[in-house]
Amino acid sequence: MIEGKKIKAKKRKHIIGILVEDHPGVLAKLSGMFSSRGFNIDTIIVGKTAIPGISHIIISLMGDDKTIEQIEKQVNKLIDTIKIIDLSPKHSVVREHCLVKVASNPKTRADLINISKLHKTSVIDISNSSMIIEVVGKPEKINNFLELMRKYGIKEISRTGINAMQRTRDNNHK
């Protein structure tokens, strides 16, 4: 709800979880609404939930508070939307999965494997000219790792987009 007319216009990253009915066309309705209202999505992932017939869509995007509020209301208006979950990093676990193909040769291979170990990532495929490394973690961790890989020569990147889940707070221990 808006209180007062002054709303902070500062843009920041938001993560919104949306529970939707799982039937054909739902994603089209959601993405169609985003494009027709001029909202930009940074990342989007769709998957099944523990409940049959209900899918989970997780969207990350940049926006000021007013825009985000309007987006949430418009998403809520879609008949297929069952619930919106605030997945701000404050209360949630946020992770992303990334595969990166880096150029490698016998000289750099050991280096790459060491860096990979230090960052708790896994080397999952090695060829004569490149290797594929799997990185899982917060998006910032992936960004940092990719930055390190840059000087070796990144050939391909495939990122899933942000996945997130609300933490459960146990009130008894407060």
Partner 1 sequence: MNGSEAIVKALLEEKVEHIFGFPGGAVMPLYDEFLKHQGELRHILVRHEQGAAHAADAYARVTGKAGICIATSGPGATNLVTGIMNAYMDSSPVIAFAGQVPTSLIGNDAFQESDMMGITLPITKHNFQIRDANKISSTIKKAFTIALNGRPGPVYIDLPKDVQTNEVSAEEKDTHIAGFKPVTAGHPVQIKKAAEMILNAKQPVIIAGGGILWANACPELQQLVEAFSIPITATFMGKSCFPEEHPLYLGVLGMHGRKAANYAVANSDLLIAIGCRFSDRITGNLQTFAKKSKIIHIDIDSAEIGKNVGVDLPIVGDAKNVLQQLNQMLKKMAVKKKNIKWAEKMKRFIQECDCSIDVKGNPIDPRKLVFELGKVLKEQDIVTTGVGQQQMFAAHFLKRSKPHTFISSGGAGTMGFGLPASIGAKVAAPDVQVFDFDGDGSFAMTQQELATAKEENIKVIAVIMNNAYLGMVRQWAELFFDRRYSAVHLKRTPDFAKVAEAYRLKGIRVERDSEIGAALREAYKSDEAVVLDVIVKEEANILPMFTAGANTTDMFGGCIKIKGKLF
Q: Applying CB under 8 A, which residues contact partner 1?
A: 1-7, 20-21, 25, 28-29, 32-33, 36, 66, 69-70, 73-74, 76-83
Nearer to partner 1, 7 or 124 (CB): 7
Q: How far is CA 166 from the centre of its chain?
A: 14
Q: Which residues contact 122 (CB under 8 A, 6 or more apart)?
A: 116, 133, 134
Shortest reach from residue 8's CB to partner 1, in Å: 12
Shortest reach from residue 25's CB to partner 1, in Å: 6
Whether the CB-CB separation of 34 and 82 falls below 8 Å is answered with no
HSE toward the beta carbon, residue 160, CA cutoff 13 A: 19
Nearer to partner 1, 37 or 117 (CB): 37
Shortest reach from residue 68's CB to partner 1, in Å: 12
Nearer to partner 1, 36 or 171 (CB): 36
Question: Which three-class secondary structure state does DSSP give residue 144?
Answer: helix
Q: How far apart, in whole angstroms, are the C-alpha atoms of residue 50 and residue 126?
A: 36
Nearer to partner 1, 74 or 143 (CB): 74
> What angle, 0 to 180 degrees and rounded to 10, lies between the N-to-C axes of helices 26-36 and 65-77?
140
Shortest reach from residue 150's CB to partner 1, in Å: 41
